[in-house]
Amino acid sequence: MIKKELPIFPVFFTNLFSTKEKNKFNDKKRYEFFNELAILIQSGLDLKTSLEIILDSDWKKHELESLTFILKQVVSGKDLWESLKNSSCFESYEYYSIQIGESTGQLSKVLLDLSGFIKKKIEQKKKLTSAISYPAFVLFVAVLAVVFMMTYIVPMFKEVFKRFGADLPYITKVIINISDIVGNNFLYFFLFIAFLFVVDKAFKKNIWYQSRKSIILLKIPFVGDLYKKVELAKFFLAFEILSSSKVSILEALKLLGNMFDFYPLKIAISKICEMLIKGTPINEAFSTSIFFDKKTIALLRVGEEVNQLDLVLKTLREQYSQEVDYKMGMIGSILEPLLIVVLGGVIGLILISMYLPLFKLSTSFQL
C-alpha cells in the first residue's frame, strides 16, 4: 500500500513550530549539564545521585521537566544515552557519543569531551558576535539612513524641482527613480525579508533546500570561506574527541554525519564512510571530497602511516581554529571602515545629486 503524502503546508508549519526544537537545551545549558555530570561521576557518585544533584540547580520550568523525565528513565533501568534521546533535548551526536562512553566504561571522559566541545562552540559564537556586532549596527543605521533619505528627503527635492521645471542632471534623475522604487516597494521589501526568514526556518531540514543554500553561501566572497573554516574546525574538534575515546574511525564518522547539518560536509562524510567500508585508506577516502584541501589529506596520510591520527586531528583542529580566529579578527578591522566609507559615499552621492540642480539654477539666475 502506497503512503499518501501530506500536503506541503502542514509540513511547513510543523517544521516551523516544532515542539522538539523548542524543547532543546541551548549550548550553555548543555555545557553546564555535561560538565557538572562529568565532575559528579568522576567524584565517585552514581548516575542517579548525580542527576538528582543536578536537578537542584537553577533550571527553567521546561528544562526541569526534561531533566526529571531523564532521571525517571534512568531509574526505570534505561541507559543514560537512551534517556537523553527520549527527552528530545539533546543533539543526536551527543547521546550517541554517550552511548559509546557507557559501552566502553569511559562515560566521564566522553562527558568532559562533550562539554569541552560545546564550550569551544560557545566561544566561537561569542567571537563571531563580537566581530560582526558593530559592523552589523553600522550597516543597520546605514540602511535606515539611506531609506529615510530616499523616502522623505529626495521626494521633497523632487517637488521643488517640479516647480522650476528645469532639466535635471542625469545622476539626479537616477536617484529620483531609485527613490520612487524604494518608496513604492518599501513594505514589500521587508515582507520579502520576513518570508525568507520563515522559509529558512521551516525548510532547514530539507535536503534540496540545504544543498542550494550551502552552494550559494560558499560562493559569497570571504563569508563562504569563513563559514567553511568554521565547519571544518568543529568537524576536526569532534573527530578528535571521538578518536581519543577509542571509537573506530568508521563509527566516529557515522556519528559526525548525524552531527552536522551543513550539506556539503554531510555529503562528504557519507562518501568517506562508503569508501572506508570498502577498505579504502583514510587519506584516499578524504581525497574524494573537494571539501578537504591537499594539506589536510597529506597530514591524514602521515598520521595514518605512523599511527598518530589523534595527534594529526588535534593539529588540524588547532590550525582551522586559528584560521577562524584570524578571519573573525579581520572582519572587525576591514568591514567597519569599509562600511563607514561606503555609507559616507552613498549619502554624499544622494546629497550631491539633490543639490546639483539647485547650484545650476542659482547660477542661471545670476546670469
Task: Please answer whether residues 355 and 153 qualify as being in contact, where contact means their C-beta atoms are separated by less than 8 angstroms.
Answer: no
> What's the DSSP call for residue 280?
-
Query: Cβ neighbours of residue 230 under 8 Å, at least 6 residues apart?
Result: 124, 128, 324
Give the per-residue pLDDT at 128. Answer: 74
All three cell numbers of 100, joined, read 559509546
Separation of alpha carbons 303 and 182, rounded Å:
58
Cell 578571519 locates to 327
The tens-digit pLDDT sequence of the chain (367 residues) is 334 444 444 444 444 444 445 567 888 899 999 999 999 999 989 999 999 999 888 888 888 899 999 999 999 999 998 999 898 888 877 887 788 788 778 888 888 888 888 888 888 778 777 777 777 787 788 788 888 888 888 888 887 777 776 677 788 888 888 888 877 777 787 788 888 888 877 777 777 777 788 888 888 877 788 888 888 888 888 888 777 767 788 888 888 887 777 888 888 898 999 998 988 888 889 988 888 888 889 998 888 888 888 889 889 888 888 888 787 777 767 777 887 888 888 888 888 888 887 776 666 544 4
Per DSSP, the three-state class of 220 is coil
Give the per-residue pLDDT at 165. Answer: 67
Count H helices and E strands in the chain, helices first.
18, 0
Give the per-residue pLDDT at 63. Answer: 87
Separation of alpha carbons 177 and 170, rounded Å:
11
| Backbone Cα Rg of the chain | 28
* Torsion angle of the four alpha carbons 288, 290, 293, 299, in this order, in degrees rounded to the nearest 10: -20
Give the per-residue pLDDT at 35. Answer: 92
* Torsion angle of the four alpha carbons 101, 54, 68, 255, in this order, in degrees rounded to the nearest 10: -30
Give the per-residue pLDDT at 80. Answer: 92
Task: Please answer whether residues 199 and 256 qualify as being in contact, where contact means their C-beta atoms are separated by less than 8 angstroms.
Answer: no
Per DSSP, the three-state class of 290 is coil
Give the per-residue pLDDT at 122. Answer: 86
Q: Where are the domains of the chain?
A: 18-90, 116-367
Residues in the chain: 367
Task: Please answer whether residues 217 and 227 qualify as being in contact, where contact means their C-beta atoms are separated by less than 8 angstroms.
Answer: yes
Query: Cβ neighbours of residue 108 under 8 Å, at least 6 residues apart?
Result: 38, 41, 42, 101
Task: Please answer whether residues 228 and 38 qualify as being in contact, where contact means their C-beta atoms are separated by less than 8 angstroms.
Answer: no
> What's the DSSP call for residue 6?
P
Separation of alpha carbons 319 and 325, rounded Å:
10
Which residue in 81, 98, 87, 109 sits closest to 25, CA to CA? 87
Backbone angles phi, psi at 30, to 5 degrees: -70, -35
Task: Please answer whether residues 40 and 50 qualify as being in contact, where contact means their C-beta atoms are separated by less than 8 angstroms.
Answer: yes
Long-range Cβ contacts of 80-89 (<8 Å, 24+ apart) = 80/47, 80/107, 87/23, 88/19, 88/20, 88/23, 88/24, 89/23, 89/24, 89/25, 89/63
All three cell numbers of 127, joined, read 567571537
For helices 249-259 and 92-104, the axis angle rounded to 10 degrees is 150
- How deeply is 256 buried, as exposed, middle or buried, from its count of CB atoms within 10 A (0-12, 13-18, 19+)? buried
Give the per-residue pLDDT at 3. Answer: 40
Give the per-residue pLDDT at 53. Answer: 92
Phi and psi based region of residue 79 (left: phi greater than 0; alpha: psi -120 to 50; beta: remaining): beta
Give the per-residue pLDDT at 36. Answer: 92
